[in-house]
Structure 1
């Protein structure tokens, strides 16, 4: 993977579009201070997704946009594109070239693009995982990162090594997975809390549902009862209305039939009256005609007298005319007599007509009076009926009002009951909220106690971590010191072993013999002796130069070695012939010297030799005592007498019983041989101990790290528990606040419900007063109805009597009318007869006139 190009526009000092190409090899950016070198690094960081504004040397992310100068306006966005050669497929992309683009606008919006396609910042980070490139990677080295690399802290160095080894990717994924797991765990806890809350709510709703179902059952049953009761009342009212309708219809039909009958009778009477009037006019006309006829008859009589005179003359003239005249006169007389009789009958009939008309008029007058009384009674009855209907309507209205009042009262009582049930529910809700508050407070107290316990545990863990880190640093320091000591001891051991190998410090002759490795030569005394380090100084002092005595198995071997030294002129050496060692028995009086005060014992007791050379102990140390100090040596010298003995103190001072004292610091090389072997052994033992201690320190360090890690994990768990406990506390505090507010809201609703109940009680009282007033009005209406019904019965009885009287008078009027009609008929018949007779009489008179004319004619003749 290789950076090919950086294109930047509007970022910090790059107002114009700038392109920087990175060729193969190293690319260095040089320039004076303030020219923008660091801005290029900031641009690369910014493109790779840097979110820390401080790293980009700005206060907010929008500050990286070119802010303008005196001559140039500020830009509204910044954009940078980093082109990467991906032919080696270091990036997880199939493209040979990958372009990473980032834009930011002054509105704060930001965009990320990979190969000109929008993506998320997380996708960008994922793209650069395990590539050594990206934020915090070793591809962008800062001064502090160099300090991290050079740091003596393993944790700080490990970060860089993990990034270089590609472990950071998996650590980030693990961290993300842990964060997701923690978030999921929190979500699960929250869901569990919500589920628990919802379960309680569902249980509460279930109780409400049961109550609602019972309420619905009771309400449906009440509705059925109310419907049945209302239906029964409605059917009763309908029956009453039907009965009243039938009564009203019967009365109305009776009224209409009576009115029709009365109208028919009145019409008939009016017709009869008109006919009677017409007949009267005809009678008057007939009377006038009769009078005219009578007057004419009288005139005719006068003329007849003249005619008679002439008739006599005519009779005399013509016998036939006389006879005829006589006949005509007889006929005229008969006709006149009959006419008079009919006129008398007409007068009688006219008198009868008059009496009939008077009777009819009286009957009509009586009928009119009865009709007037009947109409008056009908009007009174109609008024009573109208008043009764008005009273019934008012009663119905009052009943409806009463029903409405009772319905309103029932509704008010039902509303009151519902509100009371609501109040009970609200009180139960308040009680539940109180219980929930108590539970939440208990949970809060437990959570607070647990939180405080966890906080104390965290403090202890933090103190433990600090203590363990201090111990870890101390272990590191001790391990460092041990390692330094180990290195030093190893160097010393190597140096001493090299000296031992090279036989440095040996006499030349001794070195020559030892280095030649002759058969039968076992080495020197220092090679076969073992000394406790505590007694190393007195042993070396006691041995002196004898420490370099060569151990030869036989005298011949020793002679050969001496010959070798002589031939080579290599110096002189002392030999101990192994098969010739003879120490002898220690004298009896010398054995008692060990009991002298200050004597630690014979020196041979404080050294050991290889099994083969045990006899050397008596040879080399048979006359040497280990004493505490010079006083003890003096006591030994006094007790030994003339026996030659050596007393050696722990610091290496030698007191000879002969009076010779040798002491001080040895500078002879021979004195260091025994110490050298012991030092080698001591160094090896020290190295083994140091290695063991270092291993132990490694174990302690691992254990300390494990303890720190466990404490950190425990602290992380405690932090999670603290966070969870804090969330629980916040949730419970929020729940308590919500429940307190809910109680306040419920109490407010309860107060509103109590106020509604007070208003309903007032309205119920008003409704009851209205009901009582309506009942009183209804009682008054009932009394008025009873009174009107009594008056109606009386009026109906009177109307019935008048109806019967009216019927009788009507029958009487009808009979009178029939009689009148009969009289009129008879009068008409008489008048017709009179007319006929008048016609015959006129014919007779005409015939008489004709006779007279003839007589006159005869007379004239």
Structure 2
């Protein structure tokens, strides 16, 4: 691999661009001292990756950049490029030509490397130098100091150049690394052994404590599993019991209230009945007195009339000793009497028919009133049923949160576990009924957001939901939010706009301490009367804010409009108000039903009485009808005889009898009415007595039921309270101790045994846990930690022992390789040393030897030489010039034994006399077949024997420039000139 070209600019004294081209062989670089010729050596070393500024004869790396002179300004950049021929592929770079460049800019301190004009790393350049041999410092670049070091150094120091030639540096480096590793391994091994012994002491008590802790933990885990399942079962059981008993108690209370109300009603009815009986008794007493007086008068009049009638009938029948005229008068008198009776009976019949018809109308009226009342009761009961069903649904939503999302419901059911819990949005705001639809439309899902004090509480609640599979919820930390608002200029315009109702936050009520929440949720929303107003205000506000109508129509930010029929509300907002409103309606509706039932009962009583009257009227009407017909038949009989009397112009004076009969008829009429009244009142009294008896029996029955119910109520109350206490106790244990929800417990901790067995096992486990006494639960982790540390250290010890073994084997292997390579290089150099020494000294011989052949690893290397005509001596015993020549001979022998593609010789022959310089230069010609040389020199003997000569000059002060001469062409030109 030949160096073809060197290019430099800004490097040291190369202020002007320099380009040195090489054709192989030996190239000489000459020039007076201070001309910058040695800067070529520095440039090559620098571009090949030299990192030490001192090796480049500077204090810092920026010293390689041209510093300027009196006539030339300093440069800001240094660049050197080497171009190599790589046709033989000594380098792994797959290219016939390799260019390597290094650039440094002043002030940046960053070196840039380029390989074939592409950026690369420093180690890429070093790799090329190492694999080709152009970077082996003491052999690839040999200076006068190198020769002096070989000539005057000790045997041990001289060994270094052989090591470098043998390529054992990497083995020595690896050996040194292995020795360091071995030393570290032994140090670590000592510390690990101490640690292992200390950990073994800790393991004994820790294992005992950990075993106790594991037993405790096992029992606690079993207790947890069994107790949670038991608690879940008991909570469900007592919930059902409590629910059933509560419902029963509620029913009992209602029944008890109903019984008390019944007793009150019965007592009032009894009182009313007794008052009515007293009134009827007085009426009957008065009527009986009147009846007796009328009956006495009727009897007196009837005796007189009957006596007169008997006489008349006797005369009318022709019996007795009377005249025809008297008989006819008797007939006419009887006819007159019957006609009066007929008129009386007919009038009475008509009057009774009117009373019967009037009574029938009243019965129909009462029956219609009862039917209408029953219809009303049924309607009211339907309304009551709907009201109760709606109330139960609302209360279920409130108590069981059935209208809430799962996450919100879980949080509300476990809110006591979190101090920072504030409440659900819907529970914190109070919305007037007229704005509920609007506010529900605005908030939507936000009504179920959970308000907390800080974000830390929200984090805890979120983790709780995740742990218990409790669903998702949205949280509003009060400390993190800020109120929203509407610009004042918009408000000034819209506040007086027709249909503007207000800002949403001003239309609801909320505790002052949650005012920021109100502003955050509702501070930038306008509520208006209708959608037309909403559209107008949205236009004024440039659709930058949400507008909502009372009916729930919406104009969103940006102008999207939503409207139509409002969907059924989930009753999240204003739930308590709705429940209170419905509860307030219940008593009124129940009162209306009760009052209607009482009214129907009163009408039914009146109906029963009226039916009695009707039956009496009907019976008397039938009797009067019969009497009218009978009297009519009698009148027809007497009319025939009366016609005969009229034909004879017979007149009869029957006034006295008629008057008496009319008086009797009036009295009989009064008596009939009185009898009817007495009969009716007697029936009424009997009905009242019967009703009173029934009411008294019913009161006894209801009182007995009430006593039984009160005893049952007391018993159920005790059971209900006991169940409630157990329920609260189990709930507190589940949520407080285990921080679990019932749903999670049911799903993940099923009870696998009978509840009684579970309860017994829980008691047994608690007793066993108590017997364990103080338990150090941390001992489990401590044991695990110590065991891990113990195992780690044991494993570490084994690994260190293995590493120690590997290091020892590696050291042994390195030693073998070093010995073999040093032995080989010494043998190979000795083979070449004799030839080189003979050429350099004109005869004689020389040899290199190990000072201690038995300890090649540490042995120094001595040089023994025998110049022509002299004895064999150690290098130390020769003169300075001889030492230098012997050292150069050694270097040339090494190059013969281990050829390099490129070697730089920097004034190596400076200490030789002219004769030896000639030998030195001539031998270079022999070596150039295998190695390309760059020779920096100022010796004529060397200059005259190189293949190409590059002269360094400073035409500008401080700036190096070069000129080149090919000596072979110069000689040919000189010979040509001489021939001419």
TM-score normalised by length of structure 1: 0.36
Greater share of residues in helix: 1
Larger radius of gyration: 1
RCO higher in structure (CA 8 A, sep ≥6):
2
